[in-house]
Amino acid sequence: MSLHSKNFLEIRPLPVEDIELILATSESLKEVSSRDIKKVPTLRGKTIINLFYEASTRTRTSFEIAGKRMSADVINISASSSSVTKGESLKDTAKNLQALSPDIIVIRHPAPGAARQLARTLDCSIINAGDGAHEHPTQAMLDIMTIKEKKGYIKGLNVAIIGDITHSRVARSDIWALTKLGAKVTVVGPKTLIPPYIEKLGINVSYELAEIIPSADVIIMLRIQKERHRNGFFPSLREYSKLFGLNLTKLKSAKADLLIMHPGPVNRGIELDPEVADGPYSVILEQVSNGLAVRMSLMYLLLGGITI
Amino acid sequence: MSLHSKNFLEIRPLPVEDIELILATSESLKEVSSRDIKKVPTLRGKTIINLFYEASTRTRTSFEIAGKRMSADVINISASSSSVTKGESLKDTAKNLQALSPDIIVIRHPAPGAARQLARTLDCSIINAGDGAHEHPTQAMLDIMTIKEKKGYIKGLNVAIIGDITHSRVARSDIWALTKLGAKVTVVGPKTLIPPYIEKLGINVSYELAEIIPSADVIIMLRIQKERHRNGFFPSLREYSKLFGLNLTKLKSAKADLLIMHPGPVNRGIELDPEVADGPYSVILEQVSNGLAVRMSLMYLLLGGITI
Amino acid sequence: MSLHSKNFLEIRPLPVEDIELILATSESLKEVSSRDIKKVPTLRGKTIINLFYEASTRTRTSFEIAGKRMSADVINISASSSSVTKGESLKDTAKNLQALSPDIIVIRHPAPGAARQLARTLDCSIINAGDGAHEHPTQAMLDIMTIKEKKGYIKGLNVAIIGDITHSRVARSDIWALTKLGAKVTVVGPKTLIPPYIEKLGINVSYELAEIIPSADVIIMLRIQKERHRNGFFPSLREYSKLFGLNLTKLKSAKADLLIMHPGPVNRGIELDPEVADGPYSVILEQVSNGLAVRMSLMYLLLGGITI
């Protein structure tokens, strides 16, 4: 079995069978990182370029370790976004990189559609590691992998995504992935941070955190961008936290087997109280481990699924 | 066969047979990057340090991939030039690096002669990746490799180098390489950007682009440093582009098999119109691929030419 | 034989037999870097993260090469210290890294105790590469390895440590290591830069460089932080250098087999005159080579001392 595309750009058009293939492969490759010798020779002689136009130590490190555990050569390039203000420039950079015969380029870029543009230009495989507010598809894969690992299934689960839905690529990718797999998704946040008509994606909207806690099987908290409140999206961090942050008091009505997730890094005391971030509901660190497995499996599948 | 020096510092004193050995080795190693498993074990257990005092993602990436495809360990060091204002400091850095037993140090530095100074101080091999306005010898090697690949020979070809000749290490290295191999070189640019008496190198000078186009077999465009016009070297970018930039109209009188080259990154719309940069004459991306092959072959030859 | 701890955090509590085991292993692994193929497969499939909250190209490079020569995968993370103003943040970063299953995290951090905090939080091995003014234990190990290599023994040697004792993690780690092994240590510097009651560590104090030169077997010069004099710790660099810098004239009364050491980078003309830094007494570059061997041996010993 193999994926339907040589690229991994977006969850939106991804067939459910591709999602399931990635999940199954990730579950199997996760074991590599618990071995004494954490390395398989699968991608020896392959070149993976991490092309990051936004600083993200965590995501870059996850892809770098993923590539190295598969025995690929990994090259990190961190470009200041100032040098790529024009699309043409990204295309030029891309063509120059392609002339070095990489097998995969992992790109993070502030412009929505940057990964897709790269894929149109280049023959090698492209993995989208986040493109503006558009999609962050490996995050969605690790999120559903974590839910499936803990719950055994996705279909029919009540999943709430809480925070700044409008500006979140994580929310967008999660919504596509979760609805494809049959979860019942509710987005929760201040009206200023939820796009109008988002219900048309087949999801529910709530402006009241208390309303969704009792029925939620999974809560995905989004990271709040502190600078947004300067732009008037919410009155203050304190106010935001009071209304949409999670603490143990608010969780009294929660199910005993609730999962709390967060893409990291957590603003402690804002989205999540430390007792919640480190508490029994939290699966945040499992998400990080699963992210590594998802990235290993994507590299493996995109390069043709050579027998491990 | 082996090179006459343990270092690769300048084209100027390089024997023609060394140039030919590097070309032959590069042509043979180029094939590695088109394999499914793009890696040879040749330099396993060798340590290559990329010591870059000027930012250059492209050149650093090319050397890094070259080293990794040869199975060497590659260490990147990017030093801000501020910490090396004195020659003594570079010497200290170099001696400290040598104490770590590297096999090759690749150095890019804003001071002419920096690579040579390093070579005088150290026992390991040094590759000059550009030293001020002095030389950029791997660029010259990839340029002649590209010409030879496309034309089959160098001798007797009319090669025009266009732009800021005075401040260009690329021009300098290309002139040495091309004249050694018997090409007829003409430099073209505004009077303010061509050094006096440069004809003494056995080349021609022209101040008129139109004059050289009909007879040129190869045109090497140089990148214009936009800040130069502030220093009065040319009146404006628009004026420069009008006089010395290439567009399809100016190329109407060109030979059908003209090659257009550029060391990158291209200032699109200044030196080259996009239709030219991406057009049929352009071999810019072949230059990038050949740069990788040249760097692999230099690493191989400098470390003794162990059988591949 | 193996170390008593899974971490290498401080010299202070380290049993003498651990110091001796590290020394013996370092002496044996030093030979790897003089081989034609400078690589052993010992740590294949192990992941080492260099987590540097302070810029230090030299130390980071030493650890990176050490890891690669042992065949480990090495990941560099350089964090601006601004993102870790709170201890909680470091803990969060650490837990996230642990979720990626590293085997060793090498940490350099401006806060005393940062490495210890990491070790308390994580299961993987931690190596302290310098924590504020607290300790720099790999530096102490390479210092005593160098002394032992040159002198054959440590016990009974007169070792002077000269400079800013108060703010130096190198001084602190060296004092612990040297006194454990029976050396007679004297610290020398201006009164403003020597902590009161430091004699209680079993060492001597002098404020007069000339006084200690004739009897010294080893002089360890510390790097002066030029910004300290603005804070009133010493009147001027010129004054400091005159009183506590070493030049050939001052060394006329020295023993013929005196060793002069410095953790680097040297402020030439301040702590050491160039004739001294590059002169026959100096073993500064041997220190660098031994640093690499010490770091290879620690990685080896912490990961269980698998047969080489």
The tens digit of pLDDT for each residue in B102-144 reads: 999 999 999 999 999 999 999 999 999 999 999 999 999 999 9
CA distance A139 to A135: 9
Residue C306, pLDDT > 60, answer: no
Cis peptide before A263 (omega within 30 of 0): no
- What's the gap in Å between the CA of B14 and the closest CA on chain C? 27
Average pLDDT over residues C16-38: 97
Return the pLDDT at A119. Answer: 96
Q: Is B45 on the interface with C (CB under 8 A)?
A: yes
B235 touches chain A (CB under 8 A): no
- Rounded CA-CA distance B274/B265 in Å is 13
Question: Are A141 and A283 part of one and the same domain?
Answer: yes
**Residue C9 located in a structural domain:** no
Alpha-carbon gap, residue C39 to B47, rounded angstroms: 9
Angle (deg, nearest 10), helices B87-98 and C284-302? 40
A302: pLDDT strictly greater than 70: yes
Q: Do B95 and C268 touch (CB under 8 A)?
A: no
Is A292 in contact with C44 (Cβ distance < 8 A)? no
- How many domains does the structure of chain A reveal? 2
Is C57's CB within 8 Å of B79's CB?
A: yes
Mutate to test the interface with A, among B50, B68, B272, B296 (most CBs of A within 10 A): B68
Contact B83, C75 (CB under 8 A): no
Distance from CA of B132 to the nearest CA of A (A): 22
Q: Where are the beta strands (DSSP E) in chain A?
A: 47-52, 73-78, 104-109, 125-131, 158-162, 184-188, 204-206, 218-221, 259-261
**With an 8 Å Cβ cutoff, are A36 and C44 in contact?**
no
The verdict on B228 and B251 lying in the same domain is: yes
Contacts of C73 in chain A (CB under 8 A): 39, 65, 68-69
Percent of chain C residues past pLDDT 90, beyond the cut? 87
Q: Are B181 and B200 in the same domain?
A: yes
Contact B289 A92 (CB under 8 A): no
> Is the CB of B57 less than 8 angstroms away from the CB of A77?
yes
Angle formed at CA C74 by CA C71 and CA C79, multiple of 5 degrees:
165
Q: Are residues C196 and C87 in the same domain?
A: no
Give the closest of B33, B274, B288 to A96, CB-based.
Answer: B288
Please check the confidence at residue A307 and state whether its pLDDT lies above 50: no
Residue A5 belongs to some domain of the structure: no
- Say if residue A155 is in the same domain as residue A129: no
In this structure, the answer to whether residues B268 and B248 fall within a common structural domain is yes
The residues pairing with B211 across neighbouring beta strands, listed in sequence order, are none
Q: How far is CA A233 from the centre of its chain?
A: 23
**Per-residue pLDDT for C81 more than 50?**
no
> Which residues from C are below 8 Å from A37, CB to CB?
44-46
B153 and B262, same domain (yes or no): yes
Backbone φ and ψ of B236, nearest 5°: -160, 160
Our measurement of the distance from residue B250's CA atom to the centroid of its chain's CA atoms, rounded to an integer in Å, reads 26
Pairwise CA distance, residues C104 & C144, whole Å: 24
pLDDT score recorded for residue A82: 44
Look at residue A85 and tell me whether its pLDDT is greater than 50.
no
pLDDT per residue over B225-267, tens digit each?
876 767 777 778 899 999 999 999 999 999 999 999 999 999 9
Who wins on pLDDT, A55 or A118?
A: A118
Measured in degrees and rounded to the nearest 5, phi and psi for residue A3 equal -70, 160
Give B58 to chain A, closest Cα distance, Å. 8
Supply the pLDDT for residue B55. Answer: 85
Cα–Cα distance list, B268 to A298, B241, B245, B256 (Å): 35, 10, 10, 23
**Cβ within 8 Å, pair B98-C286:** no
Asked if residue A304 has pLDDT above 80, the reply is: no
What pLDDT does residue B80 have? 63
Closest CA to C9 of C95, C130, C178, C93: C130
Note the pLDDT of residue A305.
Answer: 66
Tell if the CB–CB gap between A292 and C101 is shorter than 8 Å. Answer: yes
End-to-end CA distance of chain C: 14
Q: So what's the pLDDT on residue B203?
A: 98
Of C75, C77, C96, the CB nearest to A264: C96
Residue B1 lies in a domain: no
CB C261 within 8 A of CB C283: yes
As given in the structure block, the two tokens for residue C45 are 């499939």
- Cβ-in-10-Å burial (0-12, 13-18, 19+) of C276 comes to buried
pLDDT at C235: 79
User: Which chains share 3+ C-beta pairs under 8 angstroms with B?
Assistant: A, C
Tell me how far apart the alpha carbons of residues A262 and A271 are, in angstroms, rounded to a whole number. Answer: 9
Give the mean pLDDT of B153-182. 97
- Whether residues B128 and B189 share a domain: the answer is no
> What's the average model confidence in pLDDT over B27-45?
96
Based on the domain organization, do C149 and C272 belong to the same domain? yes
Q: Is residue B181 part of a domain?
A: yes
Residue that has been written with the tokens 């582009």 in this structure: B241
Q: How far is C60 from chain B (nearest CA, A)?
A: 10
Q: To which residue do tokens 């628009």 refer?
A: B238
Cα–Cα distance, B280 to C225 (Å, whole number): 58
**CATH number, domain with residue A280:** 3.40.50.1370
Say which of C38, C64, C65 has its CB closest to residue B45: C38
Q: Please report the number of interchain residue pairs, chain A to chain B, with beta-carbon separation below 8 angstroms.
A: 57
CB B305 within 8 Å of CB B1: yes
Does the structure show a pLDDT above 90 at B1? no
Asked whether residue B9 is assigned to any structural domain, the reply reads no
Q: Within 13 A of C90's CA, how many CA atoms are on the CB side?
A: 28
- How many CB pairs below 8 A link B and C? 56
Q: Which of residues 60-89 of C touch A (CB under 8 A)?
A: 73, 75, 77, 79, 88
CB A292 to CB C100 under 8 A?
Answer: yes
- Evaluate whether B77 touches B104 at the Cβ level (below 8 Å): no
Is A4 contained in some domain?
Answer: no
> Among partner residues A47, A49, A97, which is closest to B38 by beta-carbon distance?
A47
Q: Do B75 and C69 touch (CB under 8 A)?
A: no
Q: Is the pLDDT of residue B217 over 80?
A: yes
Looking at the domain assignment, is residue C4 inside a domain? no
Per-residue pLDDT for A87 more than 70?
no
Structure tokens given for B210: 């139109």
Mean pLDDT for A236-253 is 94
Residue A81 has pLDDT above 70, yes or no: no
**pLDDT average, residue stretch C17-44:** 97
DSSP chain C: ---SSS-B--STT--HHHHHHHHHHHHHHGGGGGSSS---STTTT-EEEEEESS--HHHHHHHHHHHHHTT-EEEEEE--GGGG-SHHHHHHHHHHHHTT--SEEEEEESSTTHHHHHHHH-SSEEEEEEETTTB-HHHHHHHHHHHHHHHS--TT-EEEEES--TT-HHHHHHHHHHHHTT-EEEEES-GGGS-TTGGGGT-EEES-HHHHTTT-SEEEEPPP-GGGGGGTSSS-HHHHHHHH-B-TTGGGGS-TT-EEE--S---BTTTB-HHHHTSTTB-HHHHHHHHHHHHHHHHHHHTT----
- Kindly tell me if the per-residue pLDDT of A165 is higher than 50: yes
Would you state the pLDDT for residue C23?
98
What gap in Å lies between CA B257 and CA B169, rounded to an integer?
A: 27
Q: How many CA atoms lie within 13 A of C231 on its CB side?
A: 8
Alpha-carbon gap, residue A169 to A130, rounded angstroms: 7
CA separation (Å) from B191 to B134, B208, B228, B238?
A: 20, 10, 14, 17
Under DSSP, the state recorded for A233 is S
Q: Report the mean per-residue pLDDT for chain C.
A: 93
Lowest-pLDDT range of A229-233, B68-72, C15-19: A229-233
Does the structure show a pLDDT above 50 at A34?
yes
Cβ pair C13, C116 in contact under 8 A? no
Q: Are residues C53 and C169 in the same domain?
A: no
AA letter at B263: P
Among B89, B5, B96, which Cα is nearest to B49's?
Answer: B96
Q: Which residue range forms the structural domain that includes residue C53? A: 16-135+289-302
pLDDT band at C39 (very low <50, low <70, confident <90, very high): very high
Structure confidence by residue, pLDDT tens digits, B168-216: 999 999 999 999 999 999 999 999 999 999 999 999 999 999 999 999 9
Q: Is 60 exceeded by the pLDDT of residue B87?
A: no
Distance CA B188, CA B208 (A): 7
* pLDDT reading at C82 higher than 60: no
Beta bridge partners of residue A158, listed in sequence order: A184
Integer Cα distance of A121 and B114 in angstroms = 38
Q: Which of C34, C38, C289 lies closest to B47 in CB terms? A: C38
pLDDT digits 0-9 by tens, A192-215: 999 999 999 999 999 999 999 999
Count Cβ atoms within 10 A of the Cβ of residue A286 and give its class: 0-12 exposed, 13-18 middle, 19 or more buried: middle
Whether the per-residue pLDDT at B15 is higher than 90: the answer is: yes
d(CA A276, CA A248): 6
Please judge whether A101 and B265 are an interchain contact, meaning their C-beta atoms are less than 8 angstroms apart.
no
pLDDT of residue C86: 41
8 Å CB contact of C44 and A37 = yes
Q: Do A99 and B69 touch (CB under 8 A)?
A: no
Closest CA to A86 of B265, B124, B170, B249: B265
> In this structure, is residue C3 part of a structural domain?
no
How far is A61 from chain B, CA to nearest CA, in Å? 16
Does B65 contact A99 at a Cβ distance shorter than 8 Å?
no
pLDDT number for residue B307: 47
Let me know whether C48 and C77 are in one domain.
yes
In this prediction, residues B30-45 reach a mean pLDDT of 96
**Tens-digit pLDDT profile for residues C245-299:** 999 999 999 999 999 999 999 999 999 999 999 999 999 999 999 999 999 999 9
The average pLDDT across B280-301 equals 98
B101 part of contact set with chain C, CB < 8 Å: yes
Say whether both C161 and C46 belong to one domain: no
Q: Which of A35, A65, A266 sits opposite C75 (nearest CB)?
A: A65
Say yes or no to pLDDT of A86 above 50: no
Q: What is the pLDDT of residue B67?
A: 98
Question: Average pLDDT over chain A, rounded to whole?
Answer: 93
Predicted complex ipTM exceeds 0.85? yes
> What distance in Å separates residue B93's CA from the closest CA in chain A?
24
